[in-house]
Structure 1
Amino acid sequence: MTFDGSFTHAMVHQLTPQLTGGRVTKISEPYPNEVMLIIRANHTNYQVLLSANPNFARLQLTNQSFTNPPVPSNFTMTLRKHLQGSFLKEMHQVENDRVVHFHFTTRNEIGDETQLVLVIEIMARHSNIILVEAHNRNIIDAVKRIGADKNRYRTLLPGVKYLNPPQQDRINPFTMTNLELIHKLVHNFPAVNVLAEQLQTNFQGLSYETALSLAETIHNPNLEVNTAVTNFFANFDNPKPVIIKTSSDRLDYAAFPSPDHQVVTSYDTLSSLLDNFYQKQAERERVRELGSSLFQVTRTELKKNRRKLKKLKKTREQAQTANDDRICGELLMTYLNKVPAGATSVRLPNFYDENQLLTINLQPDRSANGNAQHYFKQYQKKKNSLQYVTTQIENTKTEIDYFENLTSQLELATPTDLVDIKTELTNAGYLHSKQKHSRARAKISQPEKFMAPDGTLILVGKNNFQNDQLTLKTADKRDYWLHAQQIHGSHVIIKSANPSPETLKAAATLAAYFSKARASANVPVDFTQVKHVKKPRGGKPGFVHYTDQKTIFVTPTPAAVTALRS
């Protein structure tokens, strides 16, 4: 079941008694197109998430924590100006559409009471959040401004009259009183799939999944059609939220279970359902959006350095022939009198190879001595370049290793981790910042905390800044340090000088999971005390050397990691 009109109906019905009469105490936009309202009602602070994200548009309460951007957006400032301190008078859904109006009572600059409406339209890529004046329907602002060049039906710009989304000539199933149409559809379309399509065509706010569930309920031989339909829509007023597994083994969610649903998990509220269902998906989407420039930089640098390494290796192969040039020069100097003038080549006995004849190419316009000097110069040039190229190859391999490590960190990053990675790339000169340079050191985010079965604290660095801070500054020298063996991954610290075998295994599982080997079945993880971990002079962020290590083999699983979260 998608967030269709019927699910919107259930959400509004559940939130209305909780939020009505509440006061807006805080407004933020933690991520683009997602507004967070803190509404205090019934002696409780509710986090109301209004998301116009094209992939995860929704309305819900949330218990998740969000980090606000250092500079609020213009839309956030507009909402704060007009809605901060206002009271939620009512909220209602437009028909059975995916449009919800929040009616707020506030006071304007001169102290007069005024009414404002915050509209959320949950319509995939057309989703939007719009602030409207109630008395004249003038738009104050929208999180996505839509001009006439993008939408001929309506514009969503400040000062323009707000128009509802285009209405479709369909029946609102929650207000219908005559079920004759449904009886007719059941008679004309006995197949469940076809009946679902017809229900979706004739009734408002039904996604195909909801219509299919309704069609299967209607075809229940133990229920009369009127009773089946009435009970089905009554369930949206008393939801029993569930995550279900579809016939294609895909996870989905529903406001209530149906006989055809394979229930995976049940929840007390629709909001807790959405928090759990969208947590990882929305987080990855935010990482993709916020970290697009970081992904681009790492991909570009990796491609550039891999291409550079290929050229350097070719140059090294050529430079490794330097000794051949030296031998040719020495043979020419030894047998000067045997080299005919103007010759293009000569065969001379090679005293380095049991006097086997060696063919030496010559430049006919040069004397024998001139050709010998040319070979000596080539020898010296290649010898010097070999030393330089060898150094460059090692440096390039270090760069490739560094960006491969960053790539793996980005794949596991949360939106908060991206700030550290962006700062790291900016400080290293790989990413140019539009902001003026600040002498204040960037605040490093905190490592993730886990708890071993015996209560021992385990810390996991999720990026290079966190890894360096955790290993080199935060950890006690007697603590234990872990890292997946010979592969990119997080630094893991056990806050104990004498961890139990169970704690070591738990920490090793975390080290394996937060590495590129997270999908492997048997991962070797090295562990040693922090005092044996050193950072080489001039080493890249997150890069260390360690000694006196031992190795433990573990199999990382998401369930094991979830069980260790503190």
Structure 2
Amino acid sequence: MEGLLIHAVLRELEKELPALNLGLAFPDEGTAAILLKGRSGRIFNLVLHYRPPSPSLVLEEATLLGEPKTPFQRQLSARVKGPLVEARQLKLDRVVFFRFAGEKGFVDTPPSVLVLEATGRNANLLLLDEAGTILGVDRVITKEVNRYRELRPGLPYTPPPPYEKLDPRTLKEEDLRPLLGKPLKEIVRLVDGVGLELMRELARRAGLTPETPLDEEGLKRVYGALKSLVEDPSLRTALSEELRKRWAEEEKEALRRPLLEALEREKRTLLARLSDYHKALERLEEAGRLRAMADLLLARLKEVPKGAERVRLTGFDGKPMEIPLDPALSPQENAKKLYERARRLEELSERALELIPKTEAKIAALEKEEERLKEADLEELLALTRRPKEEREARLGLRYTSPSGFSVLVGRNAKENDLLTRLAHSEDLWFHAQGVPGSHVILKAEGKNPPLEDLLFAARLAAYHSKARGEAQVPVDYTRKKHVWRPRKAAPGQVLYTGAKTLFVEGTLPKAEGEE
């Protein structure tokens, strides 16, 4: 529920204050209805829907019934007594304070304050004493969940973080000038109490669309519509036929753009990977040269001077061959090192041969999907945008399967790193190459202790998807996700962590059971 809508409800309620409290009812576990008799003699219910995802505050004339269903509701029934003397909104935020005077009796009931936080998925209802100490709360919030504030009995109440926006009740037309040249929808960032729903109503009243870049004339129309919205924020304005068509076209474009951008990012990742695979194939010839050098070294051991940095030997075809050496190693050890390098190059080439056609097929499928999106109608675009959360998350990051069958997710950019880490289970394992920029890697352990081969698999993915790619010894830190956090004001993907252990692995792509 948006701030201006709450303001309108409170404006109507204030006409009846102080209001006699006739008792509480609880229609369900997330709703409290306070039956009030206003100073005009009107009897009505103040109904608080206080659980996610759609909290609200309404005044209803209908009779609502229901006994307390939770311990918190029983506490409300016992402690919220006496007339309602004040209803106050925090700025135009979705936080409202209801102060009850308490009542005298055989056992006096002291004054109390109900706090409704109608903040979407973070909605809550709290009971405070006059000093602001929390007596009860529907949903306890701990430091592990919210580092800014805790909400639990015995602590002083802390409201949500402060913010700076323009108050639509007092702003002047020139205060809206930062919106010049920007789409009307940007008003939700500038003006308090206006969310997406009221922004769309504002656009209707101004005869514009949410995507319309504002000029001087548009700014005047928005200012006038905003003032009317303050007086009456009800959602009822109809669209003209012309405006309806413009809305539909702009809405299609607004829905299509992020979908196409996501496909383009995925395509760029696949093209970069395809380029790496082709480079690996090109190095197959180098693997043959390395093997030839190693064979020649073992055949001419007596001709290799001790501590030499390179040696020139006659090859099996009678032509001279120059071989670089590590002076700290013996000829046999140098040959072994050359064989290992050749083997790695051959493995990468074999892997590339297997993955090139799969990657090309994925790129072709993405290009086909791009063409389909460009022709999609509004209904189809809405359906794609409203896919179930699980399906949307399935496209997040690169996905691999570890040797033991655990899912492993790899972020492809800072935003995906941030989302993968925030969405991970607290007991999943988080990996990152030590001291260099790179991907966040999540091993979906969910509290289990994967074997070492799975840890090494995830660590190699973190090394490969970092600036240390290709190095022989890359330190990779790993810890439980619950020990990883993003500091305040840090950019997406920037984190701090504790309790980490370190694995040393090659910065090469491990052979995966599955990759998406």
Q: TM-score normalised to the size of structure 2?
A: 0.41
Q: Considering only CA atoms, is the larger Rg found in Structure 1 or Structure 2?
A: 1
